[in-house]
Structure 1
């Protein structure tokens, strides 16, 4: 296992990371989730504490004030329970919704939404003693231990710093009226939670970067894995070469089938052959086939079989081969030279027709 880890020295490809996300293997810091929940709770407490208290207090006050009117039969008791339940839900419904949204945001900010059953699939590695030992004494466990120590010290220091100036005030809480006690406690609690949120923000940011780095390192690849992925995404080079060869053969076969339609073959006797087709409906002659060496000889053989004139012109054959592709018109700079050859061929054909007649 150590050797495998040492071999994985290459940064993961985007495909590797995307595959991990599809399997539900994502960067996730529990500290970020905790921060969002506590921050949401602080916001709820500072914003809705009075409305929550009033929403619960009023039904209870009415209950006590009108206790003599409460029906004690089964239907009346059920109605009373439902009424109190609706009042409580109405009072805490929005705050609880905000807490739920905060918990969802804590996950969504770390990674996109992923639906995967991969993490639910039973794996022997999850019950492996070696894997368990690694979880207990590995890098992640050490990081969690140090993080816990830091949180304990930091939060303890923050609580002391926030509450120590109010230590005498807290002693006076024993003598306060309940109606005055609740706002005072709420205010102190909000200040304490705000300080805790600030400390946990530092912890959450640090933990997220640690979790991201751990996740990234876990998905590093060996050179062999990168080669295999390249084969899967781009195709096996041998297969691609074979496909390319077949395409070239088919294109060559189609090209050779066009040679009988040529008007003239311009050649360099030892290397090049360019087959041109022209009739009066065309704006310029078109190259229907070209080739070198053996392919050039094959073009000339087909031309001889179909009585197509073959004209030797070394510089023109070289120039046409280099500048025009199959099924393209010849470049303007070669119009004059090709026009002379095609004119010569047409005159030659007319002369042969006259002799035959």
Structure 2
């Protein structure tokens, strides 16, 4: 699969979304050598731990069967009962070892990646029957790596077996004269020793192969600049659409602000840039900002305030400070209470027909 597509333009590291999508499709970094190592390790553990119980569990029933063979009925029901009894014997003797081997095979997959359920690999693909794609797989990096890996395993296994068995060659020759009942016990230790060495050798192969497979998988997930742009549009939204939505939100907010200006109690302004409309009624804990703006919006707020006889008070530093610190429909900050209170008092005095102190 690593060579199925031209990756010359895929120069960017994959995003987390790309990696997650690959996992959901069942495309994961996986080394078969890891699975092989776990299975062989499990088999070594089973042989070293359960070989005696397996032999006894099978030997005794078979011995009884042979000793009492004259009692076996050769008709259909008798042979069926015999087959069932042998089945129970084998399950009892091999059940736990086979369960451990199954768990080892599952562990070999789970240690490489989390569980995934996907039918993507079952779907028909033209690349699986395409001669060109097949030629790329045969002569690609993966095929070369598999050949080198297989050659190394053959050489390494041969070296390991030679190193272990050559010193035992005279002992192996004597096995020809052993009683068959003693042969199993005599060879068990040597077999476990040999398998332990094979497990150690395959561990090196499995680790190296996993890193190679992971690198191949990671390279396969790399993205082109165009793919990154498309993913950004899908995950974050089209920038043009987002800009249009932002414009619509700003237009609605402006319309709502302008509709609230006639309800304001006072407009505090810097005549050339800032306008902040505040609303206050008796019983409120603090004045509320109902509209604010700069430049053209500030001018529009002053125009509407003038049409509705809303007092406009010029206070340059206060207008700037309120614009920077208060949001629409929020109360003014505590640090501006005193300054705003003076202006509200002045405005309310004007409404009652009294002249107050001008600020």
Task: Confirm or deny a common fold (TM above 0.5).
Answer: yes
Structure whose residues are more often helix by fraction: 1
Give 1:11 shift: 1.0
- Residue aligning to 2:148: 146
- The Cα of 1:85 is off from its aligned counterpart by 1.5
Query: Which whole-Å CA distance do the structure 2 matches of 1:158 and 1:119 have between them?
Result: 38
* Partner SS state of residue 289, structure 1: strand
Could you list the structure 1 runs, at least 4 aligned residues long, displaced by more than 4 angstroms after superposition: 1-4
- Equivalent position of 1:196 in the other structure: 198
- Looking at structure 1, the residues matched to 5 and 127 of structure 2 have their Cα atoms a distance apart, in angstroms, of 18
Aligned to 1:339: 341
- Give yes or no for contact 2:4–2:133 (8 Å, CA) kept in 1: no
DSSP-derived class of the 2:328 partner = coil
| Partners of 1:60 and 1:192 in 2: CA distance | 29
CA deviation profile, 1:221-245 (whole Å, cap 9, x unmatched) = 1112111111111111111111111
Aligned counterparts of 1:33 and 1:197: Cα–Cα separation in 2: 12
For residues 208-219 of structure 1, the aligned pairs below 5 Å read: 208-219=210-221
Q: Deviations over 1:307-336 (max 9, x none)?
A: 222222333323322332222222334333
Distance of aligned partners of 1:42 and 1:333 in 2 relative to their CA distance in 1, 3 Å threshold: closer
Matches within 5 A, 1:179-190: 179-190=181-192
Map of 2:357 onto structure 1: none
1:83 is aligned to 85
2:289–2:328 Cα contact (<8 Å) kept: yes
- Please give the alpha-carbon distance, in whole angstroms, between the structure 2 residues aligned to 1:71 and 1:124: 58
In the comparison of the two structures, how many residue pairs are matched? Answer: 352
Q: Structure 1: which 5+ runs fail to align?
A: 353-357
Q: 1:4: how far off?
A: 4.5
Query: How far has the Cα of 1:2 moved from its partner?
Result: 11
> What CA distance in whole angstroms lies between the structure 1 residues aligned with 2:120 and 2:4?
25
Aligned CA-pair RMSD:
1.8
Superposition TM-score, scaled by structure 1 size:
0.94
User: Normalising by structure 2, what TM-score?
Assistant: 0.93
Q: For 1:109, which of 91, 108, 111 is the aligned residue?
A: 111
**Structure 2 unpaired stretches of 5+:** 355-359
Contact 2:266–2:310, Cα closer than 8 Å, also in 1: yes
Is the partner of 2:269 in helix, strand or coil?
strand
**1:3: how far off?**
10
